[in-house]
Amino acid sequence: MMKKNICFSLVIASVLSLTSTVGQAQIASNVHYDTNFPIISPVTNKNGMVVTEQALATQVGADILKRGGNAVDAAVAVGFALAVVLPNAGNIGGGGFMMIHDAKSGKDIALDFRELAPEKAHRDMYLDAKGNVIPESSIYSHKAIGVPGTVAGLDLALRKYGTMRLADVIAPAIRLAEQGFPITPHLASLLDAERDHLGKWPASRAIFFNNNKPLTTGEKLIQKDLAHSLKLIAEQGPKVFYEGEIAQKIVAEMQRHDGIISASDLKNYKAVERTPVRGTYRGYEIVSMPPPSSGGVHIVQMLNMLEHFPLKDQGPNSAKTLHELSEVMKLAYADRSEYLGDPDFLHVPVAGLTSKDYADFLVKKIDLTQATPSEQIKPGKPVAYESDQTTHYSIADRFGNVVATTYTLNLNFGSGIVAAGTGIVLNDEMDDFSVKPGAPNAFGLIGGAANAVGPFKRPLSSMSPTIVLKDHKPFLVTGSPGGSRIITTTLQTIINVIDFNMNVAEATVTPRIHQQWMPDQLRYEKGISADTLSILEKQGQHLRPGQVMGKTQTIQIQQDGFSGYSDPRNPDGLAAGF
């Protein structure tokens, strides 16, 4: 794809040549990917690596590393830049998670800046008088918006673990917003796919439309209001977002449209540090995000089960391997529906779910010759084993620090609502709560009382920024967008590298599968052999050709340097060092 030692100023033309069609919105069915990618080598460098879904943001991060910043400085700069150049997922109007490995202390840090339910949120707020879910109320309305956490989270990361000033790391994002950048074919396809829910709101139309039509390839996206908001944050810090001019405009937007976020909700928001979820897999240490993410817990849980199977001997995407993966995924997602939620409001049995003994118990339920119907699988009892649109980017620096960040608006362009005068696209994260026990959310995930709507709660997430350690030092940094498919995508990236000895490019382009218990469907990408699919079907797997499974951004760290690769399922991405 690209030569070694790529400089940070490279353009995305070589990435675009890898795929014959443009990408799709997370839930838009009218745009499809070609997943027949050539097997190619990763980008390599000795000084550091930045891998993101948008080449301009990658350039921003690589430039920060070149100037002497560390991985956290670059991560914060990338976070603000993606809010400009990846408006469907990058954000300051949403929230997310960041995993940091701090080389100096050897410490692993989990930063939680997930959105928060407003004080006026309540369990039945999306149900009608008969107890039925009101269509799209938790997705495309002002009541769908959670209190944003990104600005607080990025600021916390920079203050505690970075080395540069906030104004310096935001400056590139301000320039991109003021000067604009050409719309790529990929972004044009997303704007067109989401035209209906973006077009409903005057402030959104003013940014993303021209002559009442979504911007098209080659047109320049200029975001003056967003540039102004970023300047305010650069000058005044996060307080202006949560208490000052920006907060006032967000609250005014809520009041005009029956939203429920108040000035008090914004003022009281806090990003928090949490204890990472840890596990081991074939001699490697897995460090990932704890609840309210479900990702880290279930990645470790599934790896614990997969240790029972000789994946290396079976081979990648063989019928045996895919059958075992599917059955393991069912068991984990069944537990997700029952036990995962905001740990500030309930006990999440993390120790039980990630216990090797619990995995030993669960794998005994797996029939190696026949699929178990999902309706026969119930959540297990992990407590007995206790002793308790999204986008992703990965960054590694020459000092030994690494950062894995996944943050989101939820669906493409979130709620589609821009707070008038701010240029900020607002999330629709309230849909990640269980709006009604047993009712699927936009990604088809089933939830229960543990993840019910409630004031000041953080909705359950699948975001899974993950660091793999070898001999206590970073070996792999990875994660992905993709809603419910994030967890299984990240899992398969890890086993592709560890079990099948793939480089990060090979691990990325290999076709993926996804099974989330309910509905009982084994989704698969194009590229898995017809013979394999025939065997799986005979074993009782309910096969369904799937949409794209994630868009990973992955770095591998070895003694001779860094290897990075940006998933060509999003053709706008780029891996680069300096």
Distance (Å, whole) CA 447 – CA 434:
5
Phi/psi class of residue 483: alpha, beta or left (left: φ > 0; alpha: ψ in -120 to 50)?
A: left
How many CA atoms are closer than 13 Å to the CA of 364, on its beta-carbon side?
A: 6
With a CB cutoff of 8 Å and minimum separation 6, the contacts of 75 are 61, 98, 154, 157, 393, 395, 403, 405
Cα-based angle 568, 139, 123 (whole degrees, multiple of 5): 130
Neighbours of 200 (CB within 10 A): 13
The residues that are catalytic are: 390
Distance (Å, whole) CA 387 – CA 358:
12
Segments of 441-486 assigned E as strands: 466-470, 473-478
Distance (Å, whole) CA 53 – CA 567:
8
With a CB cutoff of 8 Å and minimum separation 6, the contacts of 539 are 319, 323, 369, 370, 371
Q: Which residue has the tokens 């996206």?
A: 221
For helices 530-538 and 319-339, the axis angle rounded to 10 degrees is 60
Q: For residues 504-532, b (16+ Cβ closer than 10 Å) or e, as one string?
A: bbbbbbbbbbbbbbbebbbbbbeebeeeb
Which SS3 state, helix, strand or coil, does residue 217 take? coil
- Alpha helical stretches, state H, 4-145: 13-16, 55-66, 71-85
- Identify the helix (H) or strand (E) that includes residue 394: strand 390-397
